[in-house]
C-alpha cells in the first residue's frame, strides 16, 4: 500500500451499542445500533454508496449548470439469506436532479445519464467495491486481549 492509496477510519466505543467514527482529517460522527438518532452501519453503507455517486455526478453536471434540485435516495432490503447470514439486497440509488431552463441547463441534463453511468461503471469506489465482492479481513490486533 502506498500513502496515496491507503484509507482508514477509527471506531471507538462510547458505550454499549454506541460508537464514534473518526477519520484522519479530524472529522467524527456517532453511530450505533439504531436505538437513537445515530446512523447504523447499514445506513452508513447506503449513505456511502449514494454519496460516492452523488459526488461524481455533481462534479460532472455542475460544470454545465448549478442544479435547482439535487437529492439522492438509497434503498435496500436487509435480509437473512439461505446460509443464515445477514446481508443487503435490492440496492437502488435514485437521483432526483433538476437544472434551470436554458442552454446551460440543457447541457447539464444531457450530461446527467452519462455521468450516472460513468460513476456506476468506473468512478464510484464504494459501489464498485460492493459489486465486485471484495473480501474483508477481520483480525485481532496484537495485545488487544488484556492489560
Q: Model confidence over 91-132: pLDDT tens digits?
A: 999 999 999 999 999 999 999 999 999 999 999 999 999 999
Three-state SS string across 40-84, please?
CHHHHHHHHHHHHHHHHHHHHHCCCCCCCEEEEEEEEEEEECCCC
Given this model, what pLDDT does residue 50 score? 98
What is the β-pairing status of strands 28-32 and 9-15? unpaired
Positive or negative CA dihedral for 27, 144, 86, 13?
negative
The pair phi, psi for residue 80, each rounded to 5°, is -105, 120
| Each residue's pLDDT tens digit, 31-45 | 999 999 999 999 999
Residue with cell 446460509: 83
Task: Give the model's pLDDT for residue 95.
Answer: 98
pLDDT at position 146 is 63
Largest CA distance in the chain: 67
Percent helix, strand, coil in the chain (nearest 5)? Answer: 35, 30, 35
Query: Is residue 134 scored above 90 in pLDDT?
Result: yes
Amino acid at each position: 500500500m502506498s500513502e496515496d492509496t491507503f484509507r482508514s477510519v477509527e471506531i471507538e466505543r462510547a458505550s454499549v451499542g454506541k460508537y464514534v467514527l473518526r477519520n484522519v482529517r479530524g472529522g467524527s460522527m456517532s453511530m450505533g445500533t439504531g436505538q437513537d438518532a445515530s446512523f447504523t452501519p447499514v445506513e452508513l453503507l447506503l449513505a456511502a454508496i449514494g454519496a460516492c455517486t452523488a459526488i461524481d455526478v455533481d462534479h460532472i453536471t455542475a460544470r454545465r449548470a448549478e442544479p435547482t434540485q439535487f437529492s439522492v435516495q438509497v434503498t435496500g432490503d436487509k435480509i437473512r439469506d439461505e446460509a443464515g447470514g445477514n446481508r443487503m439486497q435490492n440496492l437502488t440509488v435514485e437521483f432526483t436532479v433538476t437544472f434551470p431552463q436554458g442552454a446551460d441547463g440543457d447541457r447539464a441534463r444531457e450530461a446527467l445519464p452519462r455521468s450516472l453511468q460513468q460513476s456506476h461503471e468506473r468512478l464510484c469506489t464504494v459501489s464498485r467495491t460492493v459489486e465486485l465482492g471484495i473480501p474483508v479481513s477481520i483480525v485481532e490486533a496484537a495485545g488487544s486481549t488484556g492489560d
